[in-house]
Amino acid sequence: MPIVYATGASHAPGITAWTQAAPVEQKDKLYAAFEQMRQSFAAAKPDVVLALTSEHWINFFLDHVGAFCIGRADFYDGPVEPWLRVDRTRIPGEPQLASELLAHCYENGFELNYSHEMELDHGTIVPLHFLMPDMNIPMVPIMFNTLAEPRPTPRRCVELGKVLRPVLENSGKRIAIVATGGLSHDPGEAGHGIIDQEFDAAFIDRMRRGDLAALSSYSDAEMLAAGAGTMELLAWLCMAGIMGERGADLIAYEAVKPWATGVGIMSYPLAA
Amino acid sequence: MSTYALNKLLREVNRNPQTRERFFADREAVASEFELTGEEREAVIANDVAKLYKLGAHGLILRPFTLIQQMPEPDYLAAIRSN
């Protein structure tokens, strides 16, 4: 069974929590893009969502830091933030596929952490609730450590995607991939509000061309220079690794000052 | 981020409703439960956001910590940029 859907989308909490703070043209463009993504997601009829995502000191802290953590839980609750203006809900898990992915990763050079209990914050919930408003399709999350140094390198994230791909393609299930986060932003830090549009344009260009060599060549410092939140794009790099040399279409990009984020949505053209 | 205990305290206040309630009732008591340096302890008790950031509080821990105290974004940014 092929991968039937693959989209990367920003998860800035302002998208849902401070929607009206954004200039109306920007907000309308992005909401139209999310609606387009919802329709294509539904048309793809996925059985499972692989969420390549990150979190913000909710499940993980400096008492135990891993590079990647795959969820083997029966369900995931979220969002944890009562102010996000998204109803708290329970999304079913898909522990069997998670375990297959985990075993395959161990055999192929990636000893992922795993967890039987993870809560979801805006990092996962914001894009997901647009794509599947009913929050009813089973998911497997892989959390990327984007916060604490050292982080996994862009090269390794692309490599991880390449390792995941055959299990997804041979799973017998219709797989949707959703990568969350980015683009440039520096949330809560001194550079909060700065959006590096030049970085974002170059990143989008590499994704469009499916240029895995260029995507792999990013350094941690180079991405960090565009803001700490830019590291969330590690999840997108993993998606690019799964999708191989295919290019992703740009659905929308807006540098939204009140949301303090370069908000981007890209999607791979796939036969449903 | 070298200031492990400081971030641990702030995150506990953010994440644990009981710790949060105790903290805002008696900052000194809760601060004494963590292995803080003298400087960190003073900044926590004084709610000195600029100092907390300078000492190494992570932005995605410190901003939620100030949000639960209803600190407006411009005030927060002015504080962390004042160092």
A101 close to A70: Cβ distance less than 8 angstroms: yes
Q: DSSP string of A221-251?
A: HHHHTT-GGGGGGHHHHHHHHHHTTPPPEEE
pLDDT digits (tens, 9 = 90+) for A181-210: 999 999 999 999 999 999 999 999 999 999
Which residue type sits at B5?
A: A
Look at residue B83 in the predicted model and tell me its pLDDT. Answer: 79
Of A58, A62, A147, Cβ closest to residue B4: A62
Spatial distance between the Cα atoms of B13 and A247, rounded to a whole number of angstroms: 44
pTM beyond 0.90: the answer is yes
Q: How many helices (H) and strands (E) does chain B have?
A: 7, 0
**Strand stretches in chain A, DSSP E:** 3-9, 48-53, 68-71, 75-78, 89-92, 113-115, 139-144, 175-180, 249-256, 261-267
Which residue type sits at A54?
A: S
Q: Do the Cβ atoms of A147 and B77 come within 8 Å?
A: no
Interface check A58 vs B, CB under 8 A: yes
Look at residue A270 in the predicted model and tell me its pLDDT. Answer: 86
Interface check A56 vs B, CB under 8 A: yes
A58 min Cα distance to partner chain B (Å) = 8
What is the separation of C-alpha A166 from the centre of its chain, rounded to a whole number of angstroms?
20
Interface check A127 vs B, CB under 8 A: no
Look at residue A245 in the predicted model and tell me its pLDDT. Answer: 86
| pLDDT lower than 70: segments of chain A | 1, 271-272
What phi, psi does A196 have (nearest 5°)? -95, 85
ipTM above 0.95? no
Spatial distance between the Cα atoms of B26 and A87, rounded to a whole number of angstroms: 33
Residue of B nearest to A193 (CA): B77
All structural domains of chain A, each given as residue ranges with its CATH number in brackets, are: 3-267 (3.40.830.10)
B53 min Cα distance to partner chain A (Å) = 9
Look at residue B2 in the predicted model and tell me its pLDDT. Answer: 55
Is pLDDT above 70 for B1? no
Q: How do the residues of chain B divide into helix, strand and coil, expressed in percent and rounded to 5?
A: 70, 0, 30
What is the separation of C-alpha A110 from the centre of its chain, rounded to a whole number of angstroms?
19
Spatial distance between the Cα atoms of B58 and B75, rounded to a whole number of angstroms: 17
Residues 6+ apart with CB under 8 A from A44: A4, A5, A174, A176, A270, A272
Look at residue A12 in the predicted model and tell me its pLDDT. Answer: 97
Of A57, A58, A190, Cβ closest to residue B80: A190
Using CA atoms, how far residue A128 sits from A37, A41, A52, A122, A134, in Å, is 10, 10, 11, 9, 10
Token digits for B51?
A: 């100092």
Look at residue A84 in the predicted model and tell me its pLDDT. Answer: 95
Of A58, A149, A187, Cβ closest to residue B59: A187
Token digits for A155?
A: 């090269």
Using CA atoms, how far residue A251 sits from A17, A54, A192, A264, B1, in Å, is 22, 22, 25, 8, 36
Q: Do the Cβ atoms of B58 and A188 come within 8 Å?
A: yes
Spatial distance between the Cα atoms of A151 and A237, rounded to a whole number of angstroms: 13
What is the separation of C-alpha A204 from the centre of its chain, rounded to a whole number of angstroms?
15
